[in-house]
Amino acid sequence: MDRRDVLKLLGLSAVAPMAGRFGLVGCSEVGPGVQSLQDGVPRTVQQLAPGLELALSAVPEEVSLLPGEATSVWRFRGEVVRGRLDALRAAGESYLGPTLRLRRGERVRIRFANGLPEPSVIHWHGLDVPESADGHPRFAFPTGVEYVYDFTVANRSGTYWYHPHPDMRTGPQVHRGLAGLLLVDDEEEAALGLPAAESELVCVIQDRSFDEANQFAYPESAGMGGGPAGRGGMGRGRGMGGMGPMGMAGMTELMNGVLGDRVLVNGVPNFTAPVEAGWVRLRLLNGSNARTYKLGWSDGRPMTVIGGDGGLLERAVSRDFLTLAPGQRADLVQDLSDLSEGARIRLRSLAYPPEDAGNVGMMMGATMGMSAGPAHGAALDVLTIDVRGRNTRPLRLPERLSEPGPGWDAAPSAPVRRVALAMGQMQWTLGGRTFELEGVSPEETVEAGSTHVWELVNVPNPMGMAMAHPIHIHGRQFRVLGRSGGMPDSGLRAGIVDEGWTDTVLVLPGETVRIQIRFSEHPGLYLYHCHILEHEDLGMMRNFRIV
Ligand code: C2O
Ligand code: CU
Ligand code: CU
């Protein structure tokens, strides 16, 4: 389906001028004579033609994932309207959106047409963009409308991604299939001579359970495709009395985060990749709603990590296993030259005690005498590498892979703010509050370009219940200064990589994690939240304002 078909489907026309034909909302810099409705105010903005223009849409589709019935998914589709054709690569036969490959410093315009039966908006996870391009839930827009994003790629080379961000509907929309990779290239990385694109395996890791009809199982699936069922079903802050048709089991599953009983990689079950013996680069995204993986190779070889959320580390680090929380990325290089033709090794998620990630669902489920579905910490197969052929290209990684750049050095005089991660009355809270669409408190207000230290404190409730929360901050990569507290024998701690720039940090039960962040120069209202998407939807999210 190309863009014209999508527009036809939406009852729209691709013929200019479009402004009169349907609502065009958003962004800072829109074409000449095109009316933009920002904050409800029509205006015409001077056009500086970006070199690259992409069209994305989100549409329902049927894909064949398992033998038998097709699975109904929601999917991003896209095409290059103007500029480099290699800026967009369609994903394979599954549900993922196209992979966007952008360059640092490049100006890009992305038109996003909503073909879903409910409001949506795209967020570019990890990118430092103007407020109007960040995909805040207050910019979510309905079916048949197009939103124009316009920004310059400021980020370093790295593995980023995009996904929807509507209020209370992010979990179900991502679960239904809406997600895609966004890779940024820059010169610093190109100079390293890392294994080239053809020896690079880019993997989106997601867990899903299927029902008997091969459909993705999500606790509110009855409302899926039929608009924002979440509101009526379990309205945030309503307490248990207002839970409606969802019921206790569904609520428990949401509080725990929705887990699947099998892993799909790039949307494919039992993912197997033919790889040449030699050096391979593996770029991983945990695009799961709630599951934290403890990734390890089946033959026990160490994981060599060269990058994280915000691009290359200063130096490569090695781990026996790698802890990857929802939203996080990892960049690895692995020497597979010892493997012979036909050899197979598997990447697995190793078992860990469920209470290392969180026991809330289990305890609540047990208390109420019902099963809470798949548990955290289950051993799962992730992918299989099937050795085919050999490449003898040598890899000489320099001692120093990258310079962290400005904002990295410790700022001892930075103001310190304590942010409690806690469980309130059947809801998760952030700094003692839950999400308000426009609400922001004085301690959530920071100056553009200022540096702050936030202490993320994971506070168990009086019954000792706590969950690991991957805390994500929009707009800027930050630095982890240190961790303290928590369970001394945590099965996940040793696999955490805190060495580089990151935008999502896992705070284990009982832990305090200190981060240092130099806020963006772009003023406006941005988000920070737990990246367990059900926690986010339940309100474990807040605004911060950059002034
Ligand atoms: Cu990847 Cu606000 O999220
Ligand atoms: Cu984000
Ligand atoms: Cu959480």
Q: Read off the pLDDT of residues 129-140 as tens digits, 9 standing for 90 and up.
A: 999 999 999 999
pLDDT tops 80 at residue 16: no
Atom of ligand 1 at shortest range from CA of 527: 2
Report pLDDT for 92: 87
Q: Please state the atom number of ligand 1 nearest to the C-alpha of residue 541.
A: 2
Per-residue pLDDT at 26: 45
d(CA 421, CA 488): 19
Highest mean pLDDT among 14-18, 326-330, 463-467 belongs to 326-330
Helices of type H across 309-428: 360-367
Q: Which residues pair with 42 in a beta bridge?
A: 37
- Answer whether 0.75 is exceeded by the pTM: yes
**Cα pseudo-dihedral 91, 93, 94, 97, rounded to 10:** 20
Ligand 1 site, residue 474, Cβ cutoff 6 A:
yes
Q: Is 125 in the pocket of ligand 1 (CB under 6 A)?
A: yes
Nearest ligand by distance to the CA of 477? 2
Q: Which of 15, 1, 100 is nearest to 60 (CA)?
A: 1
pLDDT at residue 423, as a whole number: 87
Lowest average pLDDT, out of 13-17, 95-99, 110-114, 226-230, goes to 13-17
The per-residue pLDDT for 238 is 32
Is residue 362 pLDDT above 70, yes or no? no
**What's the pLDDT tens digit per position in 318-355?**
999 999 999 999 999 999 999 999 999 999 999 999 88
Q: What pLDDT, on a 0 to 100 scale, did the predictor assign at position 246?
A: 67
Closest CA to 507 of 286, 351, 323: 323
Rounded distance from Cα 544 to ligand 3 centre (Å) = 18
Confidence of residue 193 (pLDDT cuts 50, 70, 90): confident
pLDDT at residue 22, rounded to an integer = 37
245 — pLDDT class (breaks 50, 70, 90): low
Atom of ligand 1 nearest to the CA of 529: 2
Q: Which residue has the higher pLDDT, 489 or 203?
A: 203
Instruction: Count CB-CB contacts under 10 A for residue 500.
Output: 28
Q: What is the pLDDT of residue 355?
A: 86
Q: With 80 as the cut, is the pLDDT of residue 187 above it?
A: yes
Percentage with pLDDT > 90 across the chain: 73
Q: What is the pLDDT of residue 373?
A: 62
Q: Is the pLDDT of residue 13 over 70?
A: no
d(CA 496, CA 152): 31
Residue with tokens 């609502």: 23
**Nearest residue CA, atom 3 of ligand 1?**
125
3-state secondary structure of 167: coil
Cis peptide before 17 (omega within 30 of 0): yes
For 17, residues 6+ apart whose C-beta sits below 8 A from its C-beta are 33, 34
State the distance from the centre of ligand 2 to the C-alpha of 13, rounded, in angstroms. Answer: 31
pLDDT (average), residues 368-397: 84
What confidence tens digit (pLDDT) does each residue in 17-69 have?
333 333 444 443 333 333 344 443 333 333 456 889 999 999 999 999 999 99
- Among the bound ligands, the one closest to the CA of 285: 1
CA distances from 458 to 363, 419, 486 (A): 18, 9, 9
Q: What pLDDT shows up at residue 392?
A: 86
pLDDT at res. 175 = 98
Q: Which amino acid, residue 309? A: D
Structure-block tokens of residue 174: 């991502």
> What pLDDT, in 10s, does the model give residues 410-459?
999 999 999 999 987 778 999 999 999 999 999 999 999 999 999 999 99
Q: Write the single-letter amino acid at 495.
A: G
Placement of tokens 């967009």 in the chain = 88
CA distances from 233 to 138, 240, 244, 373 (A): 21, 11, 5, 19
- Protein residue with least CA distance to atom 1, ligand 1: 125
Q: Rounded to whole angstroms, how far apart are CA atoms 329 and 326?
A: 9
Q: What is the DSSP string of 272-318?
A: EEEEEESEEEEEEEE--SSPPEEEEETT-PPEEEEEETTEEEEEEEE
The DSSP code sequence of 84-132 is: -GGGEE---SSSPPPEEEEETT-EEEEEEEE-SSS-B-EEEET----GG
Q: What's the token pair of residue 213?
A: 């009809």
* 209 close to 262: Cβ distance less than 8 angstroms: yes
Residue 165 Cβ inside 6 Å of ligand 1? The answer reads: yes
pLDDT given at position 462: 83
Higher-pLDDT residue of 445 and 359 is 445
Residue 281 scores a pLDDT above 70? yes
**Position 123 pLDDT exceeds 50:** yes
d(CA 516, CA 482): 10
What is the dihedral angle through the alpha carbons of 347, 271, 500, 391, rounded to the nearest 10 degrees? 80
Residues near 393 by Cβ (< 8 Å), separated by ≥ 6?
Answer: 195, 199, 278, 279
- E runs forming strands in 153-213: 158-164, 180-185, 200-208
The answer to whether 417 and 392 are in contact (CB under 8 A) is: no
Query: Does ligand 1 come within 6 angstroms of the Cβ of 529?
Result: yes
In the block, which residue shows the tokens 């099965």? 491
399 CA distance to ligand 2 middle (Å): 31
Report the mean per-residue pLDDT for the chain.
86
- Determine if ligand 1 sits within 6 Å of the CB of residue 327: yes
Residues 6+ apart with CB under 8 A from 468: 292, 325, 356, 357, 358, 458, 492, 506, 507, 508, 509
